[in-house]
Chain A
Amino acid sequence: MLSVLNNLNRVAGVRGSMIVDPDGIVVASDMAEGLDEQTAGAMASSILKSICAALGKMNQAGFERYLVTGKEGRAAIVKAGRIVLVVIMDKSVNLGMVQVQIKDAAKAIEAKSTF
């Protein structure tokens, strides 16, 4: 799985990526320095829980991904089967291009996942 993350991180504007299990535990990670992976993984999992619950109650089932934009960058939280791919990007990233790569990476992770 690390090789999928390594490839994803070569895309311009991608700062790092990681794979988190349903309990928020980091399974694999290739993140830039300065980010607490465990905390980021737990946070991503917690966000996902509130989103899935909300979507269910709004009859919007089938979560696919969440793109978060902040003042200093973007994060994509993407469903890859039962696990979650988290990608951290620069704010100036070419979203159109990177989204295709993220989608491919999520498919590859889902195929390799034993969860």
Chain B
Amino acid sequence: MGILSALFGSRTSRIEAQIEKNPAPELFAELVRLYQEEGNAKKAAEVAKRGISKFSNSKDLQRLQSDLERAARDAEKERLRAKIESYPNAILYARLAELYKKDGQIQESERVCKLGMSNFPEYGGNYIVMAEINLARNERDSALKHLEKAVEKDKYNYMALKLLAGLLEEKGKFAEAAKCLEQILYFAPGDEAIEGKLGEMRKRAGQAPPTPAAKAQAPAPARPKIAKETVRVTAAAAPARAQKAAEPATAGLGGAIGTFRKVEGVAGAILVDPYGLVVASDFAFDADEELIAAMVTNIHRSTAESAGSLGVGVFEDGLIESESGTLHVVGIKEMILAVLAAKKTKPGLLEQQIRAFAAEVLEAH
């Protein structure tokens, strides 16, 4: 161990010991700065988070945390810009636009978003981000147009449907708003906030609530037929230059998702992006992939929202067991991977496959 690192180690240990004995915001701040000086942003962020959880009113810690978050976003922007240069895909544009928006760089956000929409017109995520930019600028009509486009591309998108319902309500189109909310409840039944809003919209539209029998018979929104036993790569995952040539079992994520079925008992897998859209999927049966994506997103969202209240901290992954088999739901960066398997599937083998796939996703995005 070098003299400098030994010295650094002793300083951090000393402050950690002091925090343990008598925690104070100044100590947390000093430790954050030490890790920053060392270039260990991850550790600095961890300490800042710990400090804020104990001293939420400390201005110094709040500022340090905000600086660290900003620096992390800048690094991520740089990474995304480089990725777009070398291997563009639709999600990269949406995520970069969102980061610009978060930092108040609205013009840059709009520019990136428009590029994404133009290069990948079939991908819904960029339309959602564009609608959010419109809403931030109070351009309600443009937001409505972009949300309609997002829903046209993915009829099960929770975020797009919810925002669209809100805008339709503003315009006094209560029946249309109710339709959007009904669509959400198709893949997110029991969502109390949506149920409440739907009741209100129906009332304002002068509609009577449907009978339980009518509810049970409600047809699923029409979907495009997807051939059985195919590996699907959406426009989101296909590089711009190869978009037209994106065939089943395309190399990259499409190819990688197909490897799950090599594990005995696996019936299929799907990768969903932060906007609830299918990035890649592969099922052994005729699956409504968009519906599965919406449901997996809904399970992930409700678990992530509840994990803190259940005392387990930030949600990492979930394993659902049913009489028919298992459903693994794993967060990979901002995406969600779901794997449907039979009970006989060996957990160790599947976990190995999930890890290998996660590494590929991280590499590609």
A residues neighboring B (CB under 8 Å): 15-16, 32, 34-36, 39-40, 43-44, 46-47, 49-51, 53-55, 57-75, 86, 88, 91
- What is the interface of chain A mostly: helix, strand, loop, or mixed? mixed
Q: Do A65 and B303 have beta carbons less than 8 Å apart?
A: no
Q: Mark B109-126, 1 if CB is under 8 A from A, else 0.
A: 000000000000000000
Contacts of B320 in A (CB 8 A): 51, 55, 63, 65-66
Instruction: Say whether A46 contacts B306, CB under 8 Å.
Output: yes
- Write 27 A-B pairs (CB below 8 A) sorted by A numbering: A32-B311, A34-B311, A35-B311, A40-B309, A43-B309, A43-B310, A46-B190, A46-B302, A47-B303, A49-B189, A53-B187, A53-B190, A54-B187, A54-B296, A55-B327, A58-B340, A60-B322, A64-B323, A66-B320, A68-B303, A68-B310, A69-B312, A69-B316, A69-B318, A70-B316, A71-B313, A72-B313
| Nearest neighbor of B319 in chain A, beta-carbon distance | A67
Q: Mark B144-176, 1 if CB is under 8 A from A, else 0.
A: 000000000000000000000000000000000
Chain B, interface size: which category?
35 or more
B292: A residues at CB distance < 8 A: 58
Nearest CB of A to B6, in Å: 30
Whether B325 pairs with A75 at a CB distance below 8 angstroms is no
Question: In the complex, what's the smallest C-beta–C-beta distance from B183 to chain A, in angstroms?
Answer: 14
Instruction: Identify the interface centre among A46, A53, A58, A91: most chain B CB within 10 Å of its CB.
Output: A58
Asked if A53 contacts B318 (CB within 8 A), the reply is no
Contact A39 B309 (CB under 8 A): yes
CB distance from A21 to the nearest CB of B (A): 15
